[in-house]
Amino acid sequence: MSAALALAGKGLQVTVLEAQDQVGGKMRGVPVDGSLIDGGPTVFTMKWVFDELFDETGLSFDDSISLTKADLLARHAWDESGHLDLFTDIDRSAAAIGAFCGVDEAVNFREFAAEAASMYATLEGPFLKSSKPGMLGMSLKLGLRGLTVKPFSTLWSTLEKRFSDPRLIQLFGRYSTYTGASPFLAPATLMLIAHVELDGVWIVKGGMRELAQTMRRACEHKGVTIKTGATVSKVEVKNGAVSAAILGNGERLAADVIVLNADASALGEGLFGETVRRAVAPVPASKRSLSAIGWTLKAKTAGFPLAHHSVFFGRDYPEEFEAVFRRGRYPHDPTVYICAQDRVDTGDLAEIDMKERMLMVINAPPNGDSSDANTKEMEQCMERSLARLEACGLHVDVDQQASVPTGPADFNRLFPATGGALYGRANHSPTASFQRPDNRTSIPGLYLAGGSVHPGPGVPMAALSGRLAAARIMDDLASTRPSRRTVTVGGMSTA
Ligand SMILES: Cc1cc2nc3c(=O)[nH]c(=O)nc-3n(C[C@H](O)[C@H](O)[C@H](O)COP(=O)(O)OP(=O)(O)OC[C@H]3O[C@@H](n4cnc5c(N)ncnc54)[C@H](O)[C@@H]3O)c2cc1C
């Protein structure tokens, strides 16, 4: 929808075709016991991406959506050692870290935050906002500054050098999971995600799915036609260029340009036809990013002061990622993230003893398309997740009637050809981010947008990719292809 809005803003005639009956994709509301619960993204960062997108189309993002900037980023808990809050205010975070882990760690945190900010500043222009750069091009552009983003060290080893408290290493290592990567394999560059969060997190009134509705309204305001329940089964190519989208029911919609927002693997797996298959190589199963159990439920809770965002850490982080990525299994002692959706950032709840709406996210192997995808194992992992919460002091009274888990196999069904991987190719090497497909393909008229392509996953990044795809399309429409060589060369004027 970000590509659609940007293109409609430039006067193009745009139709959005969405297979589901709601727009938003992973940003979806799951019906649970008479309520809708956000079952996908819950942490909204990089608001500027949407501010700019709306500005460029003559709209105001602030006037289109109701947002509250959170003071408290997240509450973090380990067994019974109390909890650590992080804030957008660096001084408050440093004070909280000082009280929790000692004053030296507060100093280390300040240095870490400064380094993460500097990495972000180095990469925002040349990587995030640019058409897909190659590793060589980036190295030439950044020169020695390229080394300051630490592509050749892992996030975990870098954090081990910075912090001595293992809880802080785990807390900041977890940021790699925002791109579906293991902190033990991801480059230290991903510490810039910590900066993105420290830079601001917003809570959307009505839930994150309201962001999808806001995008829909903006698109329609600009004249975009949105068709839901419209599954594209083929991208038709004629004379070497895109000519139409063919729907599952046989309907043909002629198009000069198609921006494909399904996971790029679906293209490479041939789900849009053989002709366009060559545009993208599918991601091998061993290179996929994390899947998850997205457990939406309404439940009474007790014993722990939940915030809007709370994280309960498992005891053995190396085992957690070893299980998920190397053995294709669920973690033995999972880390559990909870978004308590009826709470404001600091945790106040309108009615204390009501059942509250929650999403729990638990790391899971991206094998939802294989015979190893095991529901029994998933249920056992959910049990262990509840035990993890108990160990941290939180009791959740689960009512089976008000509990809807979505696991790797479900995500694979919703987002075909992914195996349930939620973030495209895992960022597990210095070159992995350069291996994501470009927004422009080799097939004239076919472009890509979304979390599986450049610049990467997450709501704002997927939106950025839509804007980048739109910019490439406008460039290509405006460019005048060189005419063929003729007999007379050299600029002689001819009739
Ligand atoms: C549990 C969970 C938690 C997350 N947490 C966060 C978070 O806190 N913050 C954050 O920023 N990000 C988070 N993410 C990641 C974020 O949701 C994604 O990176 C982002 O939403 C991806 O958007 P997208 O447009 O690339 O893809 P999608 O949301 O997957 O959209 C693709 C769309 O294409 C449609 N489609 C696919 N094939 C076809 C077809 N053949 N015909 C028609 N339509 C088709 C799909 O139905 C879907 O609507 C989370 C994801 C999950 C699942």
Three-state DSSP class for 126?
helix
* pLDDT recorded at residue 351: 58
Taking a C-beta distance cutoff of 8 angstroms, is the pair 10, 220 a contact? Answer: no
Please check whether residue 396 lies inside any domain of the structure: yes
Structure tokens given for 152: 């050749």
The C-alpha atoms of residue 464 and residue 6 are separated, in whole angstroms, by 11
What average pLDDT does the chain have? 94
The answer to the question of residue 38 being in a domain is no
Assess if residue 259 is contained within a domain. no
Residue type, 27: M
| CA–CA separation, 352 and 354 (whole Å) | 6
Nearest-CA residue for atom 13 of ligand 1: 41
398-436 burial, b for 16+ CB within 10 Å, e for fewer?
Answer: eeeebbbbbbbbbbbebbbbbbbbbbbbbbbbbebbbeb
pTM for the predicted model, two decimal places: 0.94
CA distance 403 to 32: 7
E-assigned strands of 4-51? 15-18, 29-32, 35-38
Contact 308, 339 (CB under 8 A): yes
Q: Whose CA is nearest to atom 7 of ligand 1?
A: 41
* Structural domain boundaries enclosing 409: 286-414
- Into how many domains does the chain fold? 2
How far does the centroid of ligand 1 lie from the alpha carbon of residue 3, in Å?
Answer: 15
Residue 483, pLDDT > 60, answer no
Q: How does pLDDT run across 386-412, given as a tens digit for each residue?
A: 999 999 999 999 999 999 999 999 999
Structure confidence by residue, pLDDT tens digits, 291-304: 999 999 999 999 99
Would you say 120 and 192 are in contact if contact means Cβ atoms under 8 Å apart? yes
Q: Could you tell me if residue 83 is inside a domain?
A: no
Query: Residues 105-131: what's their mean pLDDT?
Result: 92
Task: Round to whole Å and give the CA distance between 217 and 215.
Answer: 5
pLDDT at residue 145, rounded to an integer:
77
The answer to whether residues 298 and 195 belong to one domain is no
Residue 233 alpha carbon, nearest atom of ligand 1: 41
* Cis before 455? omega within 30: yes
Residue 231 lies in a domain: no
Q: Give the Cβ contact number of residue 346 at 10 Å.
A: 14
User: Are 191 and 301 in a shared domain?
Assistant: no
Q: Which residues line ligand 1 (CB under 6 A)?
A: 17-20, 25-27, 40-43, 231-232, 261-262, 292, 294, 361, 415, 422-423, 450-451, 457-459, 462
d(CA 197, CA 426): 20
Phi/psi for 15 (5° steps) reads: -120, 130
Tokens of 442: 């080799």
Q: What is the mean pLDDT of the segment spanning 298-318?
A: 97
Residue located nearest, by CA, to atom 26 of ligand 1: 450
- Domain annotation covers residue 209: no
Token couple for 96: 């909280």
At 279 the pLDDT is 95
Ligand 1 atom closest to the Cα of residue 460 is: 11
Taking the mean position of all CA atoms in its chain, how far away is CA 249? Answer: 31
Phi, psi for 87 (deg, rounded to 5): -120, 165
Relative to the CA of 457, which ligand 1 atom is closest?
19
Tell me: do 191 and 296 sit in the same domain. Answer: no
- What is the spatial distance between Cα 73 and Cα 92, in angstroms, rounded to a whole number? 11
Is residue 243 in some structural domain?
no
Determine the Cα–Cα distance for residues 17 and 229; give it in Å rounded to an integer: 8
Query: Do 171 and 290 share a domain, yes or no?
Result: no
- Whether 51 and 61 have beta carbons less than 8 Å apart is answered as yes
Ligand 1 atom with the shortest distance to the CA of 25 = 49
| Boundary of a domain, candidates 356, 389, 414 | 414
pLDDT digits (tens, 9 = 90+) for 156-204: 999 999 999 999 999 999 999 999 999 999 999 999 999 999 999 999 9
DSSP three-state, residue 190: helix
pLDDT above 60: residue 280? yes
User: Does the pLDDT at position 350 exceed 80?
Assistant: no
Same domain, yes or no, for 298 and 401?
Answer: yes
Pairing verdict, β 83-87 and 72-78: antiparallel
In which element (H, E) is residue 213 found? Answer: helix 209-221
Q: State the pLDDT at residue 140.
A: 77
Query: Are both 292 and 192 inside the same structural domain?
Result: no
How far apart, in whole angstroms, are the C-alpha atoms of residue 177 and residue 320?
A: 12
List the structure tokens of 443.
């097939």
Q: Are residues 173 and 292 in the same domain?
A: no
Distance between CA atoms of residues 455 and 123, nearest Å: 11
Local confidence band at 236 (pLDDT 50, 70, 90 cut-offs): very high
- The more confidently predicted of residues 24 and 432 is 24
**End of a domain among 199, 233, 266?**
199
Distance 473 CA to ligand 1 centre (A): 22
- Listed in order, strand segments (DSSP E) in 303-429 are 309-313, 336-340, 356-364, 395-397, 403-406
Report the distance separating Cα 490 and Cα 315, nearest Å.
73
Domain boundary among 147, 178, 199: 199
pLDDT at 154 over 70: yes
Residue 232 lies in a domain: no
- At 356 the three-state DSSP class reads strand
> Please, are residues 385 and 288 in contact by the beta-carbon 8 Å criterion?
no
